[in-house]
Amino acid sequence: VPNLQGPRYVSPAPNGGFVVSEECGDVKVFTSSRKLLCSLSSKYGHRFGNPAGVCVDMDGSILVADEQRRTVHLFPERGSPVCLVSTRLRRPAGVACSSFGHLFVADAGENCVKVFRYGVRPPY
């Protein structure tokens, strides 16, 4: 996949696609045929500081660690982004999620992995 701006982290996505974080401050979603599906900053109007780790949960939501803003955001397929973690992170780098609702965050600023539980209720 050419023309990425400092690719950093990559994660598989549903339907054979994948997600890539870029140093320039964006996260891009690609189809299984390696075509750009969307940019998260464009789709959601979200401004990243320095996006790092990315993963996709069982619902198809994309989770992104932002090193500069010290947050982890969830980007659902439909709806608005949700900030899952906004405190207790010094330099969130990698993220992973389990099928049991656990979010694992590699915090390079504290040399540890932090574990959180999360669940996002659908809007009513």
- Please tell me the chain's helix, strand, coil percentages from 3-state DSSP, rounded to the nearest 5: 5, 45, 45
pLDDT number for residue 24: 79
- Domains defined along the chain, listed by start: 7-117 (2.120.10.30)
pLDDT number for residue 123: 56
**What is the spatial distance between Cα 85 and Cα 29, in angstroms, rounded to a whole number?**
22
Can you give the pTM of this predicted structure?
Answer: 0.93
**What is the spatial distance between Cα 102 and Cα 79, in angstroms, rounded to a whole number?**
21
Q: What angle do CA 119, 54, 5 make, to 5 degrees?
A: 150
pLDDT number for residue 120: 61
Give the mean model confidence (pLDDT) for residues 57-79: 95
Chain segment 17-59, per-residue pLDDT in tens: 999 999 979 999 999 999 999 999 999 999 999 999 999 999 9
71-75 vs 82-85, strand pairing mode: antiparallel
